Amino acid sequence: MVLEEKWPVLGRHNEAARWLRIWTDLGRAPRTIDAYARGLAEYLDRCERKGVDPVGATREHIAGHVRELSTRPSRRGANVVSIDSGSGLSNATIQQRLVPVRLFYDFLIEEGLRESNPVGRGRYTPGRRFGGHQRGLVPRLTRLPWIPTEAQWTAILQVAANEPIRNRVMLALAYDAALRREELCSLRTDDLDPAHRTLRVRAETTKGRRERIVPYSATAGVLLSSYLAHRASLTRARGGLFLSESHRNYAQPLTLWSWSKIVRRIALGAGVPRFSTHTTRHLCLTDLARAGWEIHEIAIFAGHRHTDSTIQYIHLSGRELADKLQKGMQQIHAWRIRQLAQLGGQAPEARS
């Protein structure tokens, strides 16, 4: 396996290699397999360093792995966990690294090599207090997604204005249709419907494997028309919509990594380093909520199976929530005053 070449520790553990091979044969996305391999290899490497047989590992060994993840120096530098922290991975990253370890032990249980899973998972248990929810091994922290301020967004647009037409239309569609990075880069020429200003997001390119049709604005349509004319100068062949113009990959579909580098360059040029390829999706869904869209409508637009996922993407500031509360309270206040006025106009006998 190519994964064993990248992470040799996987080749030294037959059950781990077999588990990954099964997931690969089941057609899981290459990036998912790669993430699983990385997380599991990281855990197996620690087991080897500590002289622990992973098949017989206990919850104590898993806890030690979690502690190492949360305290070791990060390659990205300081301030990973919190403002005053100089070490450790973020909570979300630790959760992500534990997923393949937990699934690996599920596989060992199915194979009859273990009786229990030392990682465990948060689950509903009838009869327990506080709603019957048993907490997972690592508490899950849910933070609000970051979105740029109006000034930051303006700075990003000013830098993007000097970008080639391809990059500008990609940024426009990423926001307009709330596209994930892979959905955007995987668009093909036959996914477009210019007559109705819609595009098709194919199931195989989505995170939830659900196809959807999404609209884009007239402004994005003008940019797209200009880009299609430019694309025709590169090639007239159908296929990937957004093409590379580098000498090495000329007229080949633009890769995810190339788009990430482009967005990173724009972010640094605008002085907004937190801006990423996923920020436009957060911003679009938040703007839809601000415009009064119902949560289930936003979920359909975003391609979410459940509205719980949609809620995590929407960022409403405290001021916006306060405005909604004030408006709602004004209506209730007016209703109560009307009731008092009606009671004041009744005859004494009616009120007694």
- Rg (Cα) of the chain, in Å, rounded? 26
**Using CA atoms, how far apart are residues 320 and 260, in angstroms rounded to an integer?**
31
* Cα end-to-end span (Å), the chain: 87
Structure tokens at 160: 């993007």
Model pTM?
Answer: 0.67
- pLDDT tens-digit readout, 160-195: 999 999 999 999 999 999 999 999 999 999 999 999
Residue 314 has pLDDT above 70, yes or no: yes
What is the CATH code of the structural domain delimited by 2-134? Answer: 1.10.150.130
pLDDT given for residue 290 in this prediction: 83
What are the CA-CA distances from residue 115 to residues 30, 65, 107 (Å)? 30, 21, 11
User: In the block, which residue shows the tokens 């009616």?
Assistant: 350
pLDDT at 86 over 60: no
Strands 133-134 vs 198-201: parallel, antiparallel or unpaired: unpaired
Two domains, one topology: 2-134 and 150-313: no
Give whole-number Cα distances, 343 to 137, 266, 332, in Å: 58, 63, 17
Q: Where are the domains of the chain?
A: 2-134, 150-313, 323-351
Q: What are the tens digits of pLDDT across the range 264-289?
A: 999 999 999 999 999 999 899 888 88
Rounded-to-integer distance, Cα 127 and Cα 203, Å: 40
Residue 210: CA atoms inside 13 Å, Cβ hemisphere, count?
A: 11
CATH class in words for 150-313: mainly alpha
What is the per-residue pLDDT across 26-83, written as a single tens digit (0 to 9) for each?
888 788 888 899 999 999 999 999 999 999 999 999 989 988 888 866 554 444 333 3
8 Å CB contact between 238 and 251? no
Q: In terms of pLDDT, which residue wins out, 333 or 238? A: 238
